[in-house]
Each structure stands twice: as structure tokens, then as C-alpha cells.
Amino acid sequence: MKEKPTPASNKRHIAAPGAGAKPQVYVLRDWKEYAGESLLIIFSVLLALVLTEFINKLHDKNETRELLNNVRAELIANKQAEREQYAYHLQVIRSIDSALASPALQKKIVSDDEFHSPVIAPHGVLYRYLNDIAWQIAKEHNISSRIDFKTTSLLTHIYEEQARVMKVEDEIARVFLSREAGKPENAHATLILIKNNYKGWAVDRARTAGTI
């Protein structure tokens, strides 16, 4: 009976030189195996890139949502603070009007070479402070590149108006801390200056800007 021929193998036995040496086995691979491995590597790299891009976009989306939520919460708190401050500034202006009509009250406000501001503003120049911490953090994270131009412009305008309202403290302090404000003969003029600053920087701006 003839023996059946065995199929060709992809393994080749090569005898090592020297008597009694064991043969070494080399695996011969065709181009299909190399192509398959190359495609697998390319697919793995592409998959990793796609997943990385997806994770980055998801992270950016979540971060943007958090930044905007913080800004929104800050603006809500500022709106309430500005309403309270607006009412307080109106009260201060009424106190100034009373002082302008009363020389006796003017002498009480300006005495001993000092301008006694608590007589007209018992809680200080500013009653409340308007924060912008969340907005500053959002700008540090380049929030303008993540939201539309209209929203960016609106938020920028609101915070700029808030900053101008807060500027009333510096402007009024400059008036009553001056040497001239401590002179009794200047009491009437000093009160007029303070009233104009309150109206120009805070009260009228709050009305026109819609922050109250």
C-alpha cells in the first residue's frame, strides 16, 4: 500500500551544523498574516484616537455646562444684591436731600474737620457687593470659544455694568476723604457731589442696565 503524501508544512527544519545537533524550526509566514496584523494595529490606533476625541468632547461639554451654571448662579445672586443695593442708594439720596435742606444737619455731617459719611450712608457707600468670580474663572477656561457670540456679548456687558456700579465706592470716597470735604463751608457742595456720583454711577446705571 502506498503512503499518502503529507500536506506541505509552513515549518522548515534546518539541521544545525555539527554531529547530533537538533534541528532548528523556522516559521514561514505569508503576506496575508502580515497584512492582517498591520490592519489590526491601524484599527487599534484609530479606535484609540476616536475614543480619546469622544472623551475630550464629553469632558469639554460637561465643563462648559458647569462653568455656565456657576455664572448663572452668580448672576442670580448679584441681581438680588443689586435690588437691595438700589433701594439702599435711594435711601442715601433721600438722606442727602434732607441734609441739603437742613443747615443744622450739615453741621452734624461736617464737624471737627471731618466728613461724617455714616450720617447719610449708615451701611457704607456700598450696601452689597456684586461678585464676578465665576465669570473670571469661565474666561480663564476660554468660555467665549464654547458659546455663541450673542451670549458672550450679553454676559460681558452685564459684568461690565456691574463693575461700573461698584466703582461708585471709589468715586464717592475720593470726594468725602478730600481735605475740602472737611470744611463746613463746603458741606453743601460736597453733598451735591456725592449725590451726583450715586445717581450717575449706581442708581441711574442700575435702571438703564436692567440689573434691578
95 touches 119 (CB < 8 A)? yes
So where are the chain's domains?
64-209
Q: How confident is the model at residue 129 (pLDDT cuts 50, 70, 90)?
A: very high
Cα 124 from chain centroid? Answer: 28
Which has more confidence, 11 or 31?
31
CB-neighbour burial class of residue 98 (10 A; exposed 0-12, middle 13-18, buried 19+) = exposed
pTM of the model: 0.71
Which of 44-48, 114-118, 137-141, 142-146 shows the lowest per-residue confidence on average (mean pLDDT)? 44-48
